[in-house]
Amino acid sequence: MVAQPRSQASARGVLFIHSAPTALTSHIEWAVGNVLGLPVRLEWSTQPISPGTLRAEYEWHGPEGSASKIASAMRGWHYVRFEITEAATGVNDGARFQGTPSLGIHHSIIGVHGDIHVNEDRIRSSARRAVKNGTSLEDELEQVLGTPWDEELEPFRYAGDQSSIRWLKTGSS
């Protein structure tokens, strides 16, 4: 008996390009389309807090793992700020990738309720790094949770008044 190939599970998510130079917009569209296997045209608008850059949002549907592949495709573009999510399913956790020119890419595992999951190995590594580097465990865990990426991206999230997505601010005000 010959085993039949298992069909690729479907996934969905949202891509946020918070800022990108005009010259890269067609390259971004091509890269996303290449991963998803279809032509992609994003609706670009100006990014008011970063003159000369544009922003876009795109709800995507594609094979499971597409968010990781899109983030990898955009990794080399140092002037692009982005976030891409892949929704959790009943079978698999979701994912969020954040990319900034100064910090690189951060990956979080996201549960079905939207919370970040941190496994025990990452917690243990954070504790060891804190002792080795003389930093606090809190600082190390903030890195694991992606706080520096959130802090850098926050102004870009709010800068697009025309955005259909509304972010909820967490933490103390």
pLDDT exceeds cutoff 80 at 160: no
The pLDDT value given to residue 91: 83
Mean pLDDT of 131-136: 95
Q: Give Cβ neighbours of residue 39 (< 8 Å, ≥ 6 apart).
A: 33
Convert the pLDDT of each residue in 5-59 to its tens digit. Answer: 445 689 999 999 999 999 999 999 999 999 999 999 999 999 999 999 999 999 9
**Strand order through the sheet with 116-117:** 45-46, 53-63, 10-21, 81-86, 94-100, 104-110, 116-117
* CB-based burial, 69-106: b 16+ in 10 Å, e otherwise: bbbebbeebeebbbbbbbbbeeeeebbbbbbbeebebb
Q: What is the pLDDT of residues 56-99, one digit of tens each?
A: 999 999 999 999 999 999 988 889 999 999 999 878 899 999 99
The full set of domain ranges for the chain reads 10-117+148-158
The reported pTM is 0.85
101 and 19 Cβ atoms separated by less than 8 Å: no
pLDDT of residue 2: 47
The average pLDDT across 151-160 equals: 89
Return the minimum-mean-pLDDT range out of 88-92, 147-151, 157-161.
157-161
Residue 169 pLDDT exceeds 60:
no
Contacting residues for 37 by C-beta, under 8 A, at least 6 apart: 62, 63
Paired tokens of 6: 């298992």
pLDDT in tens, 103-125: 999 999 999 888 999 999 999 99
